[in-house]
Amino acid sequence: MDILKLYAQLLNSIADLEEKYSKKFDEVLKDVFNPQELAELYKKLPPDVYSEFMASLLKLAATSSETQNPLTLPANEKKKIASELISVAESLKKVIENLKEDE
């Protein structure tokens, strides 16, 4: 039962994102990696914050490109990807905290 609730939460989160941006989830991700947007961020962010942000995005891209559907992977691979995603989330949280401090 709990696994169904977690899966439902995930689907709701993706749906919320898609509604917010009026785009499919994969399109939102493509926007994040848009070179023009990244160049604009480079101009606005302090170098240390930008480098942390880029490292997070590259790690996310590497993790995402490993597989199209993580649900089909063996349990150990799912855990590896989950761990990497948690690491990316923590890194992005640091970037956001740094941005808030600079305001």
The token pair at 33 is: 């990696």
- What is the H or E stretch that residue 102 is in? helix 75-102
The token pair at 51 is: 């480098």
The token pair at 8 is: 């439902």
Q: What's the pLDDT tens digit per position in 15-51? A: 998 999 999 988 888 887 788 988 888 888 889 889 9
* Alpha-carbon separation of residue 89 from 21, 22, 27, 32, 80 (angstroms): 20, 23, 19, 15, 14
The helix, strand and coil proportions of the chain, stated in percent and rounded to the nearest 5, come to 85, 0, 15
Q: What's the pLDDT tens digit per position in 70-93? A: 778 888 988 988 898 899 889 888
